[in-house]
Structure 1
């Protein structure tokens, strides 16, 4: 049976205005991370928040507080955060690469992370409901200089890049820039689908096949995962498992306004993975798969 990596993305950048059930305080986030690990997630992804403003905050200490709370209970789970996202109300689109990755460097130097987000491209993020309302979305901005800086930092600190593939071209650029950074650890290619946001593909089998064909041409044998934003990823779990892929679930990825817990999403995904013939990988088995 295939060993399947299950990741839980517990909150995302959405704020409670869009996703009311997300954990926000360090205590809440850590509790959700621990619950997801107990439910079978080997990998945890989170965004820290400023509880006063209700917005994402990207300081080394904000990330460290959550990670250390989780580590006090679970020393094995792979846990990592995110990057400042231009387009959010409190993030400038003029940040330098060093500013944007400052907390990643700080966390790596403290031995608190093994992975880092390095998303290899930019895309427009808008919801079909926002378009109908005449409300403009935002650009998730990842200039090439930022991607190169992130990969160099991953090489220096021994971090695995976590690639969110929002468009097919992200695979080509991510693979090319990784080849141009010899010594950088293996990336994970996470295919991002959506039902309601208008980037990329809907969660359909033809789309999974297209992503997989391109990745195998550009980065053969590399690990990959199905995920998304504002999406029900369940229809792709069995096809992913059958093809040797991995799975991410969580409130970050769910359609806005759902009433379900992160732990329940992980438990359901675990059952679907097992029904498709997979077994859940432990954190150490994930590490071995990336070595």
Structure 2
């Protein structure tokens, strides 16, 4: 059927000081998503940022404004909202007396989905996909630990299913994929699982071809999978994933450069991915075909 492209347009990392055109305001994020869709992305993956600070925000009203602007544009694109927030534990250098430090942001399972509940109040704004990070992990070799234990993931998966949203299951290492297998066996996932292989993140699985192969082998039978790698490996993994029958993700969340010394934009990264896929003899799926492949209903 071809390859679908997801564009992760802004992310939550502190990249505003490292790139002159990181989308920050709801309008900038929505405009970036629309441009990415016009360039060939079937799916846009959305975070929100505080317009004053540029830092990641989980304010439901910011998500509402972003999604509303995209819907108002009449751009046919699948919206995929991040739920990878409120799991940050920042450790201190005095763990015996005060383990959690400044910057820690932890909520329970339902608290992490508040913005989904807000969006679903209006059928027009309901996202078709949301992410579910399928395990805890160290981020880098510093003091940040992302916490997503099984006791959180099961109720989150149940609530996402109750909202009629398809989870994109984010796996950063093989243990996360093993838990996807477990959730699938327990009946927590409707239809074919949609899995995103996240490679090259410090603390997670490295961006190596044999890792991609291992992830493929462990994925539940019948899964639809996509893959991305960060930084300079991003475009290399477009070719690797598409060449192995998978789907791909690009965008400024994962990589800031089109080539060495040349800042990218979301639409230029999508255009480059389109060129790579077509150059291999493949075809790029639009939003309508991707909905059909994923079994999504567009209710708006």
| TM-score of the superposed pair, with normalisation by structure 2 | 0.85
**CA deviation after TM superposition for structure 1 residue 20, in Å:** 4.7
The equivalent residue for 2:28 is 28
The equivalent residue for 2:74 is 74
The equivalent residue for 1:208 is 212
Deviations 1:124-146 (A, max 9, x none): 111xxxx5xxxx24112112122
Q: Are the aligned partners of 2:26 and 2:48 in contact in 1 as well (CA < 8 Å)? A: yes
Q: Are the aligned partners of 1:197 and 1:229 in contact in 2 as well (CA < 8 Å)? A: no
Q: Are the aligned partners of 1:193 and 1:231 in contact in 2 as well (CA < 8 Å)? A: no
**CA deviation after TM superposition for structure 1 residue 185, in Å:** 4.5
How is 1:54-93 mapped onto 2 (pairs within 5 angstroms)? 54-83=54-83, 84-87=85-88, 92-93=105-106
In the alignment, does 2:115 pair up with 1:116?
A: no
Q: Distance in 2 between matches of 1:121 and 1:28?
A: 31
In the alignment, does 2:247 pair up with 1:243?
A: no
The equivalent residue for 1:49 is 49
Q: Distance in 2 between matches of 1:187 and 1:51?
A: 34
Q: Which of 77-86 and 175-184 deviates more?
A: 175-184
How is 1:165-176 mapped onto 2 (pairs within 5 angstroms)? 165-176=171-182
**CA deviation after TM superposition for structure 1 residue 3, in Å:** 1.4
In the alignment, does 2:288 pair up with 1:269?
A: no
In the alignment, does 2:92 pair up with 1:105?
A: no
Deviations 1:84-127 (A, max 9, x none): 2433865522x11111111112213322201111111011111x
Is the helix fraction higher in 1 or 2? 1
Gaps of 5+ in 1: none
Q: Distance in 2 between matches of 1:258 and 1:10?
A: 17
| TM-score of the superposed pair, with normalisation by structure 1 | 0.87
Q: Calculate the aligned-residue CA RMSD, in Å.
A: 2.1
**CA deviation after TM superposition for structure 1 residue 48, in Å:** 0.7
Cα 1:161/1:231, change in 2 over 3 Å:
farther
Q: Distance in 2 between matches of 1:25 and 1:90?
A: 22
